[in-house]
A and B are shown apart, each in its own frame.
Chain A
Amino acid sequence: IQLTQSPSSLSASVGDRVTITCRASQGISSYLAWYQQKPGKAPKLLIYAASTLQSGVPSRFSGSGSGTDFTLTISSLQPEDFATYYCQQLNTYPLTFGGGTKVEIK
């Protein structure tokens, strides 16, 4: 299953609302996770089951969608949120990741 993220990069300001989309090549129900990765660091789990926030993750992060279309929303971008975000489908082996969305400072 292929995952296409858009955009591949975006520029935004602190306080902006940011939305990243992830489209699956076939339906995956709600079997999707989102990760955040900062340079030189391992990815960090943000959301699983498409919309369940991982413990300890700020509530400004939210996920939605089902089937083939999913979104990750950051309601008010904070300085520590500048990073690359990946979606991952959990429906079928092999587990696959989207190509990533890099969120940069405007």
Chain B
Amino acid sequence: HLQLQESGPGLVKPSETLSLTCNVSGGSISSSAYYWGWIRQPPGKGLEWIASVFYSGRTFFNPSLKSRVTISVDTSKNQFSLKLSSVTAADTAVYYCARLNVLTFLEWPLVFVDYWGQGTLVTVSS
């Protein structure tokens, strides 16, 4: 039974770097069938995909955040991480880590989130 668990500070000061880690248990992060990613949700608002990473290190980013985002995977620890630099109050959100299933489909692969972490609230405030 796959489980994803986010960890990291719940409070970050403006202009600093938000750092989160997702620990994956019950499955291998090195599987070629999945990407791993981060999605966030500001309080009372909708969902925003941030970035995804393959176990090999291949990455995809949301262009709106790309200049501030680093995503990486540590296969030895079966975990992946997110860093978001120069944070502001607008980055206050629940951050979810997720597994993205990759299926062969029509013209290119279908990639969708099939497992989510429980989410962790990160507040940006001085």
Chain A residues, Cβ within 8 Å of B64: 94
Give the bracket for the number of chain B residues in contact with chain A.
20 to 34
Please tell me the size bucket of the interface on A. Answer: 20 to 34
Secondary structure class of chain A's binding surface, majority of residues: loop
Given contacts A42-B96, A93-B60, A99 and B112 within 8 Å (CB-CB): no
Total A-B Cβ pairs within 8 A:
61
B75-94 residues at the A interface, CB under 8 angstroms: none
Chain B residues with Cβ below 8 Å from A98 are 46
Determine whether the beta carbon of B62 is less than 8 Å from that of A45.
no
- B63 contacts A45, C-beta separation under 8 Å: no
Of the stretches B7-15, B22-30, B102-110, the one at the interface is B102-110
| A96 and B110 form a contact (CB under 8 A) | no
Bound complex: CA A93 to CA B64 (Å): 11
A86 proximal to B (CB < 8 A): yes
Complex CA distance for A54 and B116, rounded to whole angstroms? 14
Q: Could you tell me if B110 and A97 are in contact, using CB atoms closer than 8 angstroms?
A: no
B contact set with A: CB distance below 8 Å: 46-49, 60-64, 96, 101, 103, 105-107, 110-114, 116-119
Q: Which residues of A contact B (CB under 8 A)?
A: 29-31, 33, 35, 41-45, 48-49, 54, 86, 88, 90, 93-100
